[in-house]
Structure 1
Amino acid sequence: MSSENGGPRADGGGGAEGAPPEQLALIRESVRKAGTPRAKPRTWRGAALAERLPVARVLVDKGVLHLDRYFDYAVPAELDEQAQPGVRVRVRFGAGRHRVREGRREGGGLIDGFLIERLAESDYSGPLAALAQVVSPEPVLDEELLRLARAVADRYAGSLADVLQLAVPPRSARAERRPSPAALPSPEAPDPGSWTRYEQGGAFLRTLADGGAPRAVWHALPGPRWSEELARAVAATLASGRGALVVVPDGRAAARVDAALTDLLGKGHHALLTADAGPEKRYAQWLAVRRGSVRAVVGTRAAMFAPVRNLGLVAIWDDGDDSHSEQHAPQPHARDVLLLRATLDRCAFLLGGFACTVEAAQLVESGWARPLIAGREQIRRSAPLVRTVGDEDLARDEAARAARLPTLAWQTAREGLRHGPVLVQVPRRGYAPRMACDRCRAPARCPHCSGPLQGQEAGLPRCGWCGRAEGGWHCPECGGFRLRAQVVGARRTAEELGRAFPAVPVRTSGREHVLDTVPDTPALVVSTPGAEPVAEGGYAAALLLDGWAMLVRPDLRAGEDALRRWIAAGALVRPQGEGGTVVVVAEPTLRPVQALVRWDPVGHALRELSERAELGFPPVSRMAAVSGTAEAVAEFLAAVRLPSDAEVLGPVPVPSAAPGGPRRPGSPPPGEHWERALVRVPPGSGSALASALKTAQAARMARGSGEAARVRVRIDPPDIG
């Protein structure tokens, strides 16, 4: 890995591996220092250097784009044995603070980094600074992980250092000193089990066990068997002598796959990588995987980079879940990282879920993956009965009216409680609901600051921004004076249901307290989407309330996301043959509602994909969001050299976060005014777009643009509504 564009530097060692020409031009323009080429450094401040391969190429832990390359350092003789490729090191590094005195480089602060490789000589002109310290002799960065991290950085217009921050967990000295367990022999290939319910399920497992690399999009049948089916896919891969990696959206799902694998293979065959384990235990598990002691991994988002040896299968469950999208730079999505791994390592790929994202449908439509589906008769036997009711159908009896339930939902809940628990899904958390006009449903806003009005447990509605009470509100759209709750939160719904069903226990599951399971006894379980507990034996019924609120979001994915959340809840309900019923409160003619009634997420995704192809929306096109102040965005767009087929949409204002409220990634702080532009390119130009944006951003950073002039660039933004 020689550096062809090396040059004197003032902010590190030397070398410029992989730096774009535009970055090098800026650097050479701003840093002009004479240096005498030295092929082999021999001493540093009188100390001897390593005789063999005395140059270390280092990636410094500076997540800024204009420093996204390697730097050369001299290797002192005392560090020769420990300074091996892949270890963590500390080096002296500080922009503008180095000075050459008597052939020696001094100054700069110590910073962490990774030693990439050892070289016999450097192409850097000038004396090299020496490695200050080898933090640990444990090699944590191998060629495969480095190759993957570079591919992710390039795809998302980010820096390699930022990706490695996500890929390599923080060090724990005690975990490194602890020996990893001995690797267990490969298990026998499992029988297909419930995979026989799918048309090609048995063949998929046999191909894995034979060492093949099938690529499939798996539309799982409702019910609890999905975790066992994932475990069998992992076991089949292990039987071929290869490793496997499964990424799930949360710790609850990881625990289910963990239990299924333990039941199938026993302990010791896999590692569980989740944040719940704590830093030391998680790092010890990660080391066991890197050292080859464990060949299978189950984990949440960060596990997408797990250094599994001889990788044979990568799998992701429920790729539409928001948890799979990393919020730290460069904000990669687990699905895309695993797609890169499947391509780079030529291994099998499995994308599974009850629902189907548009990205999953595109993988099948393009021919890259094959569908793993069950026949329609099998789907009908496994799915619950789904019934719809319009939100305008108010309950006709007093108890139903008090509980905010249409008559059909009330009757379904009452019947279901005779046989087991009933799930009630509400789309928002909390107690105070947002308010809207009862006649036209226009959002109710404060006349003083235009903030949202929120209902209170008692008293007048208040503004969620300025806190003022509003007793004389009237609708500016239709002149109405009556308010209604746009969405009633889980706590409020639980209280209302408790009054409507006084003899039935009511349990809630949400952000503050998420239940994992509930017993198979009559109870009302009120949950927000994604927090639904599993009922032993399945729920007797499920009520999906305020469905319209999930569909009216100004978001390209509103329909897809609503259907995914409804199907996830419906999959916890008993099959129709056992009396399982789902009632969704939403307009029956809407496409996502009809897809739920037919239990046809694949058809819905294919129609969405077709429409997006006509409109040029992702994932058919590649898109990037550029946000910041109006001046910064305009300057950035004027400077960036976009591909010739790129199209710029906007800029448009970005809504600010409410005072005291949560700030979404990519949104401005309260009081600041930002704009956002979308840059769209057709298929095949995504890499060129990412490279152009990265180069322009690096140039701005090299010039020292201030905080006010910064722009945020995100490739494939999840929200382009």
Structure 2
Amino acid sequence: MSRDDERRGEQAPDGSGAGPEQPEPHKPHESHEQPAPHEPHQGSEAPEQLALIRETVREHKKRQQPPKAKPRTWRGAELASGLPVARVLVDKGLVHLDRYFDYAVPAAMDEEAQPGVRVRVRFGAGEREGRREGGKLTNGFIVERRADSDFTGKLAPLAQVLSPEPVLGPGLLQLCRAVADRYAGSLADVVQLAVPPRRARAERKPSPKRRPRPKPPEPGGWGRYEQGEAFLAALAGKEAPRAVWTALPGRESWADELARALVATLASGRGALAVLPDGKAAARVDAALTALIGGDHHVVLTADAGPEVRYERWLAVNRGAVRAVVGTRAAMFAPVRNLGLVAIWDDGDGSHSDDHAPQPHAREVLLQRAVTEQAAFLLGAHGCTVEAAQLVESGFARPLVADRSVVRAVAPLVRTVGDRDEARDVAARSARLPSLAWNVARDGLERGPVLVQVPRRGYVPRLSCERCREPARCPHCAGPLEAAGEGAELRCGWCARGVPDWRCPECGGVRLRGRVFGARRTAEELGRAFPAVPVRTSGGDHVLDTVPDRPALIVSTPGAEPVPEAGPGYAAALLLDGWALLGRPDLRAGEEALRRWLGAASLVRPQGEGGSVVIVAEETLRPVQALVRWDPVGHARRELADRAELGFPPVSRMAAVTGPPEAVTALLASAELPEQAEVLGPVPLPVVERGQPRRPGDPPPGERWERALVRVPTGSGAALAASLKTALVSRLTRREGPAAHIRIDPPDIG
């Protein structure tokens, strides 16, 4: 046999190297010594045969070893070798793209491209052809590094790592996913609310050093509540109590009590989070915390700080350098380490409901965090919402209330002026200020400032015909006519057109009367009634934080009441035009009116110090009686019982589906709703004229939309959200006509 034949015999037809002619490998000591006794002497050819045998052995060993993996490349660039796939949450808030997308990790980005960091990727073009190599540059977050991908096409690489700072940790990602599922929204939309925009200069700054835990605080004002001291002790003892707190009236007492709850949690070595409705309330808690333990243990997250400072503070929390956060609505997602307490103040305030998709409510997000992170929960307010009452009724939380004797000692005296009293009162008919209110204001001005709450801002925001009482509307767009001042020309509140020659289309009358009087008109009337007293207004774009503790009339819209700088509070308060708050076509009208009244009355001195409140509203109404007795909890319980009988939230869960009629009908027809789901409607929505102010969820100007309500029992809320979202994704994916809009737990269903 020739050597060529021998070599051909070494290679099997299948390339495995296991051919029939392959010689058996020799051991090294046998190949280098003399030949075996039975083998003939080969003479000069023996060294060549030994070399051939050695070469055959080496090739055999090479074939048995696994081949070295070639480095993966993309257009000449080497990819990461360990975990070459990055699963990315692309910053696209489209609900039908609510999933992760895989991208290849270049070797140059291997170290920085870690879970939680911000990246830029190519997204859009090429998806239909099974590749991701085109599209526009889009921001995103890496959520996971993987060894392989479920995507069958060729992965495009990450375009850029914007920052190595991990800002979307596993806990925050889990919270955002839960919120998106609850509200039938997309994860990218929730992450936009949770993670503030990047500021490179803030990332380069070092975070402050972590401060040692403070000592547990003294009970302070918590001693006035029946279970207040026990609640504070449980927080300091690393427990997780849950409470609905009805705060006693007082100028600053609630802020100090909330601050002590936060400090007690910090003393246990855990983190704390408090969400307030506005910057004024956050500033009060910030001042109270600073007075107790200094300003190094917490940060304030509000829009007033500016984007760079706010992001710098947020990074300090995310890095674990700061363990306590006080902030407004967006702070509900603050990534506090080892969270021990979540607190929300005045959950009935509309500021706690986000206007951006999917429109989550801070109360529900904090409830989710309390359950998931096993933290304590505290819901506090001067009033009590039906949602808070349901938390107590269901056993999820316990009430934190004061004894009735304590309430009477710190609350002001509340008196009413009803319709019958106004009819008999000459001063009320002529000056819109009943005699009782005038006398209370006069007596109060001898001791300090007097607060006057009016339901609307402006001068005369609502007018009607003097003869037939028909609302005065613009002849061009049917918007409401307004008077900007005494003797000023009438203007439309929607299109701003002037209407110099108005005539009533019903009766032909030309004289107008005011239906609702604003803060500026009220201030003008009070200035004439009390010419020697300064009059200041607060509301709209001009909100006062504080006022001096000296005689003055402070005219304010609800929620814009300033706090006296020093002293026990206002000497008196007048709550005018109560019918305007109670007459709103809303299921929450009574609850909201009582909340507004309690907020203003809580700034008034106690009855023992001469504090007095006069409310101009019918005394037989339930919210008015609750204010007179200072019993917000009883009012909330009765409201909850009424809603349970009618099947209204929060006893049930609801979803509002709005949009063009064909979109609403098609979505409801394709959705696999829970068995106990009840569809109410659809009904047409009012057409929004051009120039008319729009609220979230209102149709575009001139378009006709419908709204349907879907109601299910409380235990089926998750199934309802999932079914509606699945149906919406299917319609958007197939491009089956216009899209409908889904809102879970709409605040207004009246």
Q: What TM-score comes out, normalization by structure 2 length?
A: 0.87
- State whether residues 115 and 166 of structure 2, in contact with CA within 8 Å, keep that contact through their aligned partners in structure 1: yes
- State whether residues 64 and 701 of structure 1, in contact with CA within 8 Å, keep that contact through their aligned partners in structure 2: no
Q: Mapping of 1:25-424 within 5 angstroms?
A: 42-96=72-126, 99=129, 106-223=133-250, 224-391=252-419, 393-394=421-422, 403-424=431-452
- State whether residues 71 and 78 of structure 2, in contact with CA within 8 Å, keep that contact through their aligned partners in structure 1: no
Displacement, 1:705? Answer: 5.1
1:21 match = none
2:524 match = 495
> Is 1:704–2:732 an aligned residue pair?
no
- State whether residues 688 and 703 of structure 2, in contact with CA within 8 Å, keep that contact through their aligned partners in structure 1: no
Judging changes above 3 Å, is the alpha-carbon distance between structure 1 residues 301 and 560 closer, same or farther for their aligned structure 2 residues? same
- State whether residues 104 and 156 of structure 2, in contact with CA within 8 Å, keep that contact through their aligned partners in structure 1: yes
Structure 2 distance, partners of 1:367, 1:308, is 27
> Is 1:546–2:577 an aligned residue pair?
yes
For residues 136-187 of structure 1, what are the alpha-carbon distances to aligned partners after superposition, in whole Å with 9 as ceiling and x for unaligned?
A: 0000011110010000000000000000000000001000000001000000
Judging changes above 3 Å, is the alpha-carbon distance between structure 1 residues 480 and 83 closer, same or farther for their aligned structure 2 residues? same
Displacement, 1:491? Answer: 0.9
Q: Which deviates further from its counterpart, 454-463 or 555-564?
A: 454-463
Displacement, 1:403? Answer: 3.9
- State whether residues 539 and 557 of structure 2, in contact with CA within 8 Å, keep that contact through their aligned partners in structure 1: yes
> Is 1:607–2:606 an aligned residue pair?
no
Q: Mapping of 1:684-703 within 5 angstroms?
A: 684-703=715-734
Structure 1 distance, partners of 2:747, 2:91, is 27
> Is 1:666–2:676 an aligned residue pair?
no
Q: Mapping of 1:496-535 within 5 angstroms?
A: 496-535=525-564
Superposed CA RMSD in Å reads 2.1
- 1:131 alignment partner, SS class: coil
Judging changes above 3 Å, is the alpha-carbon distance between structure 1 residues 711 and 501 closer, same or farther for their aligned structure 2 residues? same
Judging changes above 3 Å, is the alpha-carbon distance between structure 1 residues 700 and 508 closer, same or farther for their aligned structure 2 residues? same
1:631 match = 662
For residues 424-446 of structure 1, what are the alpha-carbon distances to aligned partners after superposition, in whole Å with 9 as ceiling and x for unaligned?
A: 00001112320246688664445
- The one-letter code sitting in structure 2 at the alignment partner of 1:376 is R
Judging changes above 3 Å, is the alpha-carbon distance between structure 1 residues 300 and 105 closer, same or farther for their aligned structure 2 residues? closer
Judging changes above 3 Å, is the alpha-carbon distance between structure 1 residues 359 and 442 closer, same or farther for their aligned structure 2 residues? farther
Q: Mapping of 1:3-18 within 5 angstroms?
A: none
- The one-letter code sitting in structure 2 at the alignment partner of 1:163 is V
- State whether residues 460 and 514 of structure 2, in contact with CA within 8 Å, keep that contact through their aligned partners in structure 1: no
Judging changes above 3 Å, is the alpha-carbon distance between structure 1 residues 239 and 131 closer, same or farther for their aligned structure 2 residues? same
Unmatched runs of 5 consecutive residues or more in structure 1: 1-38
Structure 2 distance, partners of 1:504, 1:429, is 21
2:596 pairs with one of 565, 568, 574: 565
Displacement, 1:392? Answer: 5.5
Q: Which deviates further from its counterpart, 494-503 or 667-676?
A: 667-676
Displacement, 1:498? Answer: 0.5
- 1:685 alignment partner, SS class: helix
- 2:714 alignment partner, SS class: coil
Structure 2 distance, partners of 1:40, 1:65, is 39
- State whether residues 248 and 299 of structure 1, in contact with CA within 8 Å, keep that contact through their aligned partners in structure 2: yes
For residues 461-499 of structure 1, what are the alpha-carbon distances to aligned partners after superposition, in whole Å with 9 as ceiling and x for unaligned?
A: 5554564345543767xx998743221111111111111
1:680 pairs with one of 700, 711, 736: 711
Structure 2 distance, partners of 1:682, 1:502, is 58
Q: Which deviates further from its counterpart, 151-160 or 665-674?
A: 665-674
- The one-letter code sitting in structure 1 at the alignment partner of 2:445 is L
Q: Which deviates further from its counterpart, 187-196 or 401-410?
A: 401-410
For residues 534-588 of structure 1, what are the alpha-carbon distances to aligned partners after superposition, in whole Å with 9 as ceiling and x for unaligned?
A: 1132000000010001001110000000000000000000001111111011111
2:23 match = none
- State whether residues 689 and 702 of structure 2, in contact with CA within 8 Å, keep that contact through their aligned partners in structure 1: no
- The one-letter code sitting in structure 2 at the alignment partner of 1:202 is E
Judging changes above 3 Å, is the alpha-carbon distance between structure 1 residues 96 and 42 closer, same or farther for their aligned structure 2 residues? closer
Identity over the aligned pairs, expressed in percent? 73
Structure 2 distance, partners of 1:216, 1:497, is 43
For residues 18-48 of structure 1, what are the alpha-carbon distances to aligned partners after superposition, in whole Å with 9 as ceiling and x for unaligned?
A: xxxxxxxxxxxxxxxxxxxxx9982212222
- 2:743 alignment partner, SS class: strand
Structure 1 distance, partners of 2:614, 2:688, is 35
Displacement, 1:109? Answer: 1.4
For residues 263-316 of structure 1, what are the alpha-carbon distances to aligned partners after superposition, in whole Å with 9 as ceiling and x for unaligned?
A: 100121001000000010000000000001000000000000000000000000
Structure 1 distance, partners of 2:498, 2:241, is 57
Structure 2 distance, partners of 1:501, 1:428, is 22
For residues 73-124 of structure 1, what are the alpha-carbon distances to aligned partners after superposition, in whole Å with 9 as ceiling and x for unaligned?
A: 1111110000111101111111456757xxx753211111110011122222
Structure 1 distance, partners of 2:704, 2:498, is 22
Structure 2 distance, partners of 1:397, 1:501, is 19
Q: Which deviates further from its counterpart, 239-248 or 510-519?
A: 510-519
1:555 match = 586
- State whether residues 399 and 500 of structure 1, in contact with CA within 8 Å, keep that contact through their aligned partners in structure 2: no
For residues 196-237 of structure 1, what are the alpha-carbon distances to aligned partners after superposition, in whole Å with 9 as ceiling and x for unaligned?
A: 000000000000000000000000000021001011000000
Q: Which deviates further from its counterpart, 387-396 or 611-620?
A: 387-396
2:515 match = 486
For residues 347-379 of structure 1, what are the alpha-carbon distances to aligned partners after superposition, in whole Å with 9 as ceiling and x for unaligned?
A: 000000000000000000000000000000000
- The one-letter code sitting in structure 2 at the alignment partner of 1:516 is D
Q: Which deviates further from its counterpart, 239-248 or 458-467?
A: 458-467
> Which structure has the larger Rg over C-alpha atoms?
2
- The one-letter code sitting in structure 1 at the alignment partner of 2:580 is A
Structure 1 ranges of 4+ moved more than 6 A? 395-400, 479-482
- 2:650 alignment partner, SS class: coil
Structure 2 distance, partners of 1:288, 1:40, is 43
Unmatched runs of 5 consecutive residues or more in structure 2: 1-68
1:32 match = none
